[in-house]
Chains A and B, each alone.
Chain A
Amino acid sequence: MNSTQKNLLHIENLVLHFKTTSGVVQAVDGVDFELDSNRAVVILGESGCGKTSLSKALLRLLPRNVEKYSGMVNLHGIDVMTLSDEEYRQSVRWVGMSLVPQAAMNALNPVLKVGDQVAEPAMIHLQLSKAEALILVHKMFQHVGVPLDFVDRYPFELSGGMRQRVALAMALVTSPSLIVLDEPTSALDLLTQANIMNVLKRIKHELGTSFILITHDIATSSELADEVAIMYAGQIVETGDAKDFFPAPLHPYSQMLMASVPRLRSESDPMFITGQPPSLMNPPKGCRFAARCPFRFEKCGEEPPVFQKGNRKVKCWLHE
């Protein structure tokens, strides 16, 4: 009990497979990780490696073509996977976990005022009246830097950056202990990105919220991250503390991913990884990165276990 209490979130062997006409897509295939309160983990990886599917699996936002959805998601010591849909709605959705979606552009109902949309979760989960909820909305708008008179505006009257902030305020309104941010800034310009990252840092500091930040933007994410998890082909291949990870990543994929970030006046060109992530329809046996890995050797034909290296974990035979 003690060990689970220490952890805010504890995921074990989370699996989400989709059914398609050409076969089963193993978008999330056995993900384990843990997260403490008031910590931010950034999940990095290429496009199409299952990052967004992982957030969907966490939040039980399943599309219609789910083939397999299993595993354990322990939030505050309760395995939420065992809850019925209605229990999950009442006790986890926006109370335990909330979401800042990928494209805030489409995440807001075009015909409802943004203030009402932000107030909705507070009215449902905290049983507030509309007036009380709107007071809370004002407070959240202040937190994220949205002018208060925007409460009465419609989404189409807001700029992209403002909409993203509204989405953030919406995620905060019920003060959940965990917020999943799915590429919250990838559609925005650099200044707005920096601005929103600052807002996130401040919120983490002031409200003690934990974040799961899903992104492929390594540079911006390093600002916020306490921990890093690298995702490749539906699996997590490395986790660790951000300050250990960024200077010296362990997994070859992580190393190459970090080497691909351009640096100012660097002697060498940014690296890129040849080839593409394997199809999630028929992932290769053994290490999924083997085909693109410069260090591969005979053992890579077998599925590598997760090796503990100090307080870091890596799924690679090199660190046996």
Chain B
Amino acid sequence: MSVTAHVPSEKLVIKKPASNSSFLRVMRYVSVRLLTLFITVVIGIYLTIVIANMGGFVDQIIKGEIRDRITQSFLANPSVKQMDPEVRKNLIQEKIALEEKRQGLDTPIAIRNARFLTNALQLNLGRAINITSDSGSKQVRLILLERLPATLLLMGTSQLFLFFSSIFFALSLSRNYGNFWDKFVIALSPTSAVPPWFYGIFLILIFAAAFKVLPFGGMVDSPPPLNTFDYAVSVLQHLILPGLSLVLSSFFISVYNYRTFFLIYSSEDYVDMAKAKGLPSRDIERAYILRPTLPTIITNFSLLIIGLWTGALFTETVFLWPGLGRTLFQAIGQYDIPIIVGSTIIFAYLLALTVFLLDFIYVLVDPRVKIGQ
């Protein structure tokens, strides 16, 4: 075997890195990464706080509301009418100051923002201003937790269905490039420019108003059925229309997207080679198309999972679905800053955590990726 004679030297050169140095490398990478992600989260949350109270402008609105409400209630009270105008004015001023102090409006906005930020970062979500949970609590944490299952049910079913069906159909289209269904999907992909709530309105018109086969909105019949089976059936019935509108609005663009993605990767030389080797097409798809693109697919999937948290603002509102999206929509309308910030901080933490974990998942699924190099 004369040709192998030069090989041992090549072997020596490559097998060098000691385990100790690679441990240090990974630790250094982890700490730097965590620090930068934390800074990103802090900046993101601070911006959310500033934007949510419109740089202090919301204070003016709330102060105006307090003044208005208290003055009105005093004027409506007959016993106050007898009072000396000066005393009454002082009394009103006092009451307003008290109310402003109660809501913390007397502290400067910068200090309040900073306090808000530190609380938020410690997941101290505080109390909502106006919105209450169904059980009557004003704790932001309780409000969000109460709405979470509804959102997970709606978003979870629709998004997971969308994800897996897109990949399945996209693979089959990329195999049959240029056939009728391929052209059909491409032709329909612009329909995804229409938002899901718009489809929702039409679906309500068709299936609830015209055919009267499905409910208009909500999550269960009222009164809710007593036995579990009927309850589940009722929830499923209410789930169909909002779920369908979420799926319908992004199905074609999503299939188109993945189909093009797979098409690019299936023209790689190694895919041709796998075909020449006589691998069954199922194996080619699994090991030569899906496997090399796994990092991208995993990234999309994990972003989808944390995307469930925000819910579907307008679609939930259109269907009166008691989820996080609708709560957030209400909170924005009522300047309920703690709810907005609370929802955002959790999303920010989830996002940072996902980005952090993805770095390690990449190493597991792609041998070319090394941490900290």
Q: Name A's B-contacting residues (CB within 8 A).
A: 59, 61, 64, 89-90, 92-95, 98-99, 101, 103, 106-112, 120-121, 124-125, 142, 144-147, 149, 154, 156-157, 159, 170, 195, 198-199
Knowing A103-B269, A156-B368 are in contact, say whether A59-B276 is a contact too (CB < 8 A). Answer: yes
Structural contact, B269 and A106, CB atoms closer than 8 A: yes
Q: Considering the chains assembled together, what is the distance between the CA atoms of A144 and B177 in angstroms?
A: 38
> Which residues of B277-331 are within 8 A (CB) of A?
277-280, 283, 287-288, 291-292, 294
Q: Considering the chains assembled together, what is the distance between the CA atoms of A108 and B368 in angstroms?
A: 13
Contacts of B365 in A (CB 8 A): 111
A147 in complex: contacting residue of B7, B278, B287, B366, CB < 8 Å? B7
Contacts of B273 in A (CB 8 A): 99, 101, 107-108
Q: In the complex, which residue of chain A has the Cβ closest to the Cβ of B281?
A: A89
Structural contact, B7 and A61, CB atoms closer than 8 A: no
> Which residues of B167-197 are within 8 A (CB) of A?
177-178
Q: Write out, one digit per residue, whether chain B residues 333-370 have a CB within 8 A of any chain A CB (1) or not (0).
A: 00000000000000000000000000000000111100
Structural contact, A109 and B287, CB atoms closer than 8 A: yes
A-B contact pairs, 8 of them (CB 8 A): A94-B276, A94-B277, A98-B277, A107-B273, A110-B367, A112-B291, A195-B3, A198-B3
Structural contact, B278 and A124, CB atoms closer than 8 A: yes
Structural contact, B4 and A109, CB atoms closer than 8 A: no
Which among B11, B274, B283 has the highest number of chain A CB atoms within 10 Å? Answer: B274
How far in angstroms is the closest Cβ of chain A from B127?
Answer: 50
Structural contact, B368 and A110, CB atoms closer than 8 A: yes
How far in angstroms is the closest Cβ of chain A from B150?
Answer: 40
Q: Considering the chains assembled together, what is the distance between the CA atoms of A106 and B365 in angstroms?
A: 19
Structural contact, B275 and A61, CB atoms closer than 8 A: yes
Q: In the complex, which residue of chain B has the Cβ closest to the Cβ of A113?
A: B367
A124 in complex: contacting residue of B7, B279, B291, CB < 8 Å? B279
Which among B270, B272, B277, B368 has the highest number of chain A CB atoms within 10 Å? Answer: B277
Number of interface residues of B (CB under 8 A): 32
Contacts of A61 in B (CB 8 A): 272, 275-276
Q: Considering the chains assembled together, what is the distance between the CA atoms of A112 and B7 in angstroms?
A: 22
Structural contact, A124 and B276, CB atoms closer than 8 A: no
Knowing A147-B11, A154-B368 are in contact, say whether A108-B277 is a contact too (CB < 8 A). Answer: no
Q: Considering the chains assembled together, what is the distance between the CA atoms of A306 and B278 in angstroms?
A: 35
Q: Considering the chains assembled together, what is the distance between the CA atoms of A110 and B265 in angstroms?
A: 12
- Judge whether B14 is part of the interface by a CB distance below 8 angstroms: yes
Q: In the complex, which residue of chain B has the Cβ closest to the Cβ of A59?
A: B276
Structural contact, B275 and A145, CB atoms closer than 8 A: no
Contacts of B11 in A (CB 8 A): 147, 149
Contacts of B4 in A (CB 8 A): 142, 145-147
- Judge whether B268 is part of the interface by a CB distance below 8 angstroms: yes
Contacts of B279 in A (CB 8 A): 120-121, 124
A-B residue pairs, 9 tightest by C-beta: A93-B278, A145-B3, A106-B269, A154-B367, A147-B7, A109-B270, A107-B273, A145-B4, A94-B278
Structural contact, A106 and B268, CB atoms closer than 8 A: yes
Knowing A120-B279, A124-B280, A125-B278 are in contact, say whether A111-B1 is a contact too (CB < 8 A). Answer: no
Q: A61-B272, A93-B276, A159-B10 are in contact. List 14 more A-B contacts (CB 8 A).
A: A89-B280, A92-B278, A93-B278, A95-B278, A101-B276, A103-B269, A112-B291, A120-B277, A124-B279, A124-B280, A124-B283, A125-B278, A146-B4, A147-B8
Contacts of B368 in A (CB 8 A): 110-111, 154, 156
Contacts of B3 in A (CB 8 A): 144-145, 195, 198-199
Structural contact, A109 and B291, CB atoms closer than 8 A: yes
B278 in complex: contacting residue of A89, A112, A142, CB < 8 Å? A89
Contacts of B276 in A (CB 8 A): 59, 61, 93-94, 98-99, 101
Which among B272, B273, B367 has the highest number of chain A CB atoms within 10 Å? Answer: B273
Q: Considering the chains assembled together, what is the distance between the CA atoms of A142 and B7 in angstroms?
A: 12
Contacts of A109 in B (CB 8 A): 270, 274, 287-288, 291-292
Contacts of B366 in A (CB 8 A): 110-111
Q: In the complex, which residue of chain B has the Cβ closest to the Cβ of A191?
A: B6
Structural contact, B14 and A157, CB atoms closer than 8 A: yes
Q: Considering the chains assembled together, what is the distance between the CA atoms of A144 and B368 in angstroms?
A: 25
Q: Considering the chains assembled together, what is the distance between the CA atoms of A98 and B276 in angstroms?
A: 7
Contacts of A154 in B (CB 8 A): 367-368
Contacts of A124 in B (CB 8 A): 277-280, 283
Q: Considering the chains assembled together, what is the distance between the CA atoms of A292 and B319 in angstroms?
A: 76
Which among B14, B178, B287 has the highest number of chain A CB atoms within 10 Å? Answer: B287
How far in angstroms is the closest Cβ of chain B from A97?
Answer: 9
Contacts of A170 in B (CB 8 A): 277
How far in angstroms is the closest Cβ of chain A from B53?
Answer: 49
Q: In the complex, which residue of chain B has the Cβ closest to the Cβ of A145?
A: B3
Contacts of B270 in A (CB 8 A): 106-110
Contacts of A199 in B (CB 8 A): 3
> Which residues of B245-269 are within 8 A (CB) of A?
268-269
Q: Write out, one digit per residue, whether chain B residues 1-43 have a CB within 8 A of any chain A CB (1) or not (0).
A: 1011001101100100000000000000000000000000000
How far in angstroms is the closest Cβ of chain A from B156?
Answer: 30
Structural contact, B269 and A93, CB atoms closer than 8 A: no
Q: Considering the chains assembled together, what is the distance between the CA atoms of A103 and B279 in angstroms?
A: 20
Q: Considering the chains assembled together, what is the distance between the CA atoms of A149 and B7 in angstroms?
A: 11
Q: Considering the chains assembled together, what is the distance between the CA atoms of A15 and B275 in angstroms?
A: 21
Q: Considering the chains assembled together, what is the distance between the CA atoms of A275 and B140 in angstroms?
A: 79
Structural contact, A64 and B278, CB atoms closer than 8 A: no
How far in angstroms is the closest Cβ of chain A from B240?
Answer: 39
Q: In the complex, which residue of chain A has the Cβ closest to the Cβ of B270?
A: A109
How far in angstroms is the closest Cβ of chain A from B168?
Answer: 21
Contacts of B7 in A (CB 8 A): 145, 147
Contacts of B10 in A (CB 8 A): 147, 159
Contacts of B287 in A (CB 8 A): 109, 112
Q: Considering the chains assembled together, what is the distance between the CA atoms of A106 and B267 in angstroms?
A: 11
Which among B291, B294, B367 has the highest number of chain A CB atoms within 10 Å? Answer: B367
